[in-house]
């Protein structure tokens, strides 16, 4: 038996307001694939992640006499996660059966190698035994750590304290960092939230604020069979789009948490928990995956683009490596600047009537207040929809209440669409 705790620590650094976008997979720096954000209307790139990197650690074969049972299912479970991540364009580093020193080195080296570039996104996944002491401190167990009931001092010298993980999470400078642990320890570093908290209004808003978010499959004293429910549920949530609750082609951390909560509780007696790190400034945003379903649909270019290039090579259609799209774009940019300068000169020549600026400022303030109120209405609807979808997942489809819930969800979603149109109109006016 092993106790399972799912933890994801993730954060996004502020990128500023952006228009609606899609995720764009591409490559640079010697063929490394990255993911970019592009404006869905103009098809222009707004932001690019230089690389996506994942560290997978599995401890299945513990030292003889250590007191920890082997977990034979882990290698196969990691295979499934690795395949899913590679489909998501992650470069995967895999470490199996590390001892104490190798476990800490794996985390530390990975952070130093990939975590200091703000353009990267990182994912950490650990599967193996874990332990929570009576004082609430949680530990990851390497293969050479002794049973704490037999050798407590030896255990604390060998096991990896979760506080070190939190320190690494704060030191990382990459835009996205997601930590998932299929092991056991308490959720003491969580700031839990109530049911029904919805996903923020737009994907762009999620990308604009930082967060270290936690998802646990249960408390430290809850046990499940050695064959994990979490690991395959996590892989399937992304690869097959099962975690895409609103079917928009993206899977946020909150959506993933709701999906895993439903799946884990469906097949186990676990009590899943969802919350953020106990730090206000690091609990504002969300993590974003591209749904695997969207990735597979090559005929949906507004969802995902994928290109591969080799460092130093030129496309056959280019002239000595010159990117004519870049040249044309630069020329258009210069024209736009000249037009803006001419417009400024003309506006400067106009004599404005007294009191005009004051009236305009009042109008802007009124529009901003109206937009703020409609944003709050949108978020309230989203919370209601999220709560109803969670309730719907617990009902049989033949249940009369399920039909009523679906109808109410559709009505709320229609109200949301109306608000979104009004918000877009207000944004244009502003």
Q: What is the per-residue pLDDT for 169?
A: 84
Q: How far is CA 293 from the centre of its chain?
A: 17
Kindly state whether residues 371 and 270 are assigned to the same domain. no
Specify the higher pLDDT residue, 73 or 193.
Answer: 73
Number of domains in the chain: 3
Asked, for residue 373, whether it belongs to a domain, the answer is yes
* Backbone torsions φ then ψ of 334, nearest 5 degrees: -65, -45
Q: What is the per-residue pLDDT for 347?
A: 52
Cα angle 181, 182, 186; round to 5? 70
Q: What is the per-residue pLDDT for 325?
A: 52
Residue 395: give the domain boundaries: 356-429
Output the DSSP codes for 287-328.
-EEE-HHHHH-TT-TTT-------TT---TTSBTTB-HHHHH
113-122, 209-218, 233-242, 328-337 — which one is most confidently predicted on average? 113-122
Q: 29-38, 178-187, 338-347, 384-393: which has the minimum mean pLDDT?
A: 29-38
Cα angle 157, 161, 162; round to 5? 170
220 pLDDT above the threshold of 80: no
Sorted by sequence, the CB contacts under 8 Å of residue 119 that are 6+ apart come out as 34, 48, 49, 50, 51, 174, 175
Specify the higher pLDDT residue, 247 or 116.
Answer: 116
Number of residues in the chain: 430
106-115, 272-281, 353-362, 365-374 — which one is most confidently predicted on average? 106-115
Which of 278, 296, 314 delimits the end of a domain? Answer: 296
| pLDDT (average), residues 362-379 | 83
Burial bucket for residue 123 (CB in 10 Å: 0-12, 13-18, 19+): buried
Q: Model confidence over 157-187: pLDDT tens digits? A: 999 998 888 888 888 888 778 888 887 654 5
Asked, for residue 34, whether it belongs to a domain, the answer is yes
Q: What is the per-residue pLDDT for 264?
A: 74
Q: What is the per-residue pLDDT for 149?
A: 92
Kindly state whether residues 330 and 237 are assigned to the same domain. no
Percent share of the chain, pLDDT over 70:
58
Kindly state whether residues 72 and 181 are assigned to the same domain. yes
Specify the higher pLDDT residue, 386 or 278.
Answer: 386
| pLDDT (average), residues 385-411 | 79
Q: What is the per-residue pLDDT for 254?
A: 75
Kind of pairing, strands 45-49 and 32-39?
Answer: antiparallel
| Banded model confidence at residue 281, pLDDT cuts 50, 70, 90 | low
Kindly state whether residues 96 and 218 are assigned to the same domain. yes
Kindly state whether residues 393 and 267 are assigned to the same domain. no
Q: What is the per-residue pLDDT for 70?
A: 92
For residue 23, the 8-state DSSP code is: E
Asked, for residue 91, whether it belongs to a domain, the answer is yes
Percent share of the chain, pLDDT over 90:
18
Q: Are 238 and 16 in contact (CB under 8 A)?
A: no
Kindly state whether residues 271 and 394 are assigned to the same domain. no
Q: Are 138 and 188 in contact (CB under 8 A)?
A: yes
For residue 255, the 8-state DSSP code is: H
Q: Model confidence over 202-217: pLDDT tens digits? A: 455 555 555 555 666 5
Q: Where do we find the tokens 């400034």?
A: 281
Asked, for residue 418, whether it belongs to a domain, the answer is yes
| Banded model confidence at residue 218, pLDDT cuts 50, 70, 90 | low
Kindly state whether residues 176 and 254 are assigned to the same domain. yes
Q: Are 60 and 71 in contact (CB under 8 A)?
A: yes
| Banded model confidence at residue 130, pLDDT cuts 50, 70, 90 | confident
* Backbone torsions φ then ψ of 393, nearest 5 degrees: -65, -20
Sorted by sequence, the CB contacts under 8 Å of residue 421 that are 6+ apart come out as none
Asked, for residue 186, whether it belongs to a domain, the answer is yes
Provide the CATH number for the domain around residue 219: 3.40.50.1460
CA atoms of 174 and 308, how far apart (whole Å) = 23
305 pLDDT above the threshold of 70: no
Q: Model confidence over 6-54: pLDDT tens digits? A: 343 333 332 333 333 444 444 444 444 455 555 444 444 445 568 899 9
Q: What is the per-residue pLDDT for 119?
A: 81
Kindly state whether residues 327 and 425 are assigned to the same domain. no
| Banded model confidence at residue 96, pLDDT cuts 50, 70, 90 | very high
> How many of the other CB atoms lie within 10 Å of CB of 10?
30
Q: What is the per-residue pLDDT for 273?
A: 61
Kindly state whether residues 238 and 366 are assigned to the same domain. no
CA atoms of 79 and 83, how far apart (whole Å) = 6
Asked, for residue 9, whether it belongs to a domain, the answer is no
> How many of the other CB atoms lie within 10 Å of CB of 65?
9
**E strands present in 66-143:** 91-96, 120-127, 130-132, 138-140
Kindly state whether residues 395 and 327 are assigned to the same domain. no
> How many of the other CB atoms lie within 10 Å of CB of 381?
19
Angle between helices 100-114 and 162-171 (to 10 degrees): 10
Report the chain's mean pLDDT, rounded to a whole number.
70
Q: 247-261, 275-289, 353-367: which has the minimum mean pLDDT?
A: 275-289
| Banded model confidence at residue 250, pLDDT cuts 50, 70, 90 | confident
Classified as helix, coil or strand, 429 is: helix
Q: What is the per-residue pLDDT for 212?
A: 55
CA atoms of 185 and 25, how far apart (whole Å) = 36
Q: Are 59 and 129 in contact (CB under 8 A)?
A: yes
Closest CA to 76 of 56, 52, 54, 106: 56
Kindly state whether residues 246 and 361 are assigned to the same domain. no
Q: Are 234 and 261 in contact (CB under 8 A)?
A: no
Which of 313, 347, 381 delimits the end of a domain? Answer: 347
Q: Are 264 and 270 in contact (CB under 8 A)?
A: yes
Q: 60-69, 80-89, 232-241, 247-256: which has the minimum mean pLDDT?
A: 247-256
β-sheet with 120-127: strand ranges across: 91-96, 51-58, 120-127, 176-182
| Banded model confidence at residue 402, pLDDT cuts 50, 70, 90 | confident
Classified as helix, coil or strand, 148 is: coil
Q: Model confidence over 308-330: pLDDT tens digits? A: 333 333 333 334 344 555 555 56
| Banded model confidence at residue 151, pLDDT cuts 50, 70, 90 | very high
Kindly state whether residues 259 and 398 are assigned to the same domain. no
Q: Tell me the Ramachandran region of residue 127: left when phi exceeds 0, alpha when psi lies from -120 to 50, beta otherwise.
A: beta
Q: Tally the C-alpha atoms within 13 A of residue 414's C-alpha that lie toward its C-beta.
A: 6
Q: What is the per-residue pLDDT for 331?
A: 62
Asked, for residue 2, whether it belongs to a domain, the answer is no
Asked, for residue 310, whether it belongs to a domain, the answer is no
């Amino acid at each position: 038996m092993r106790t399972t705790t799912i933890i994801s620590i993730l954060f996004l650094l502020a990128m500023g307001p952006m228009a609606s976008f899609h995720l764009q997979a591409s490559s640079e720096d010697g063929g490394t694939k990255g993911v970019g954000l592009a404006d869905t209307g103009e098809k222009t790139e707004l932001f690019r992640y230089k690389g996506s990197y994942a560290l997978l650690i599995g401890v299945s074969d513990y030292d003889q006499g250590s007191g920890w049972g082997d977990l034979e299912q882990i290698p196969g479970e990691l295979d499934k996660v690795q395949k899913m991540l590679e489909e998501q364009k992650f470069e995967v580093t895999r470490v199996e059966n590390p001892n104490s020193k190798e476990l800490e080195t794996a985390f530390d080296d990975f952070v130093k190698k990939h975590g200091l570039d703000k353009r990267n996104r990182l994912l950490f996944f650990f599967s193996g035994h874990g332990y929570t002491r009576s004082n609430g401190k949680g530990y990851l167990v390497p293969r050479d750590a002794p049973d704490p009931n037999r050798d407590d001092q030896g255990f604390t010298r060998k096991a990896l304290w979760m506080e070190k993980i939190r320190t690494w999470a704060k030191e990382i400078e990459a835009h996205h960092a997601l930590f998932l642990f299929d092991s056991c320890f308490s959720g003491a570093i969580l700031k839990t939230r109530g049911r029904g908290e919805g996903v923020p209004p737009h994907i762009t808003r999620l990308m604009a604020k930082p967060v270290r978010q936690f998802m646990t499959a249960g408390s430290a004293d809850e046990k499940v069979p050695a064959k994990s429910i979490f690991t395959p549920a996590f892989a399937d949530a992304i690869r097959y789009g099962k975690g895409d609750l609103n079917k928009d082609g993206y899977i946020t951390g909150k959506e993933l948490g709701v999906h895993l909560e439903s799946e884990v509780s469906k097949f186990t007696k676990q009590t899943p928990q969802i919350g953020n790190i106990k730090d206000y400034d690091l609990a504002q945003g969300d993590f974003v995956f591209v749904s695997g379903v969207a990735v597979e649909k090559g005929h949906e270019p507004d969802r995902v683009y994928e290109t591969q290039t080799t460092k130093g090579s030129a496309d056959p259609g280019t002239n000595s490596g010159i990117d004519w799209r870049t040249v044309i774009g630069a020329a258009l940019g210069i024209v736009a600047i000249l037009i803006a300068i001419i417009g400024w000169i003309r506006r400067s020549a106009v004599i404005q009537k007294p009191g005009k600026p004051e009236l305009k400022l009042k109008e802007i303030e009124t529009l901003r207040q109206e937009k703020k109120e409609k944003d709050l209405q949108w978020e309230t609807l989203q919370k209601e929809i999220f709560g109803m979808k969670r309730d719907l997942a617990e009902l049989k489809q033949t249940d009369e209440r399920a039909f009523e819930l679906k109808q109410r969800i559709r009505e709320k979603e229609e109200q949301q669409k109306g608000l979104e149109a009004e918000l877009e109109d207000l944004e244009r006016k502003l």
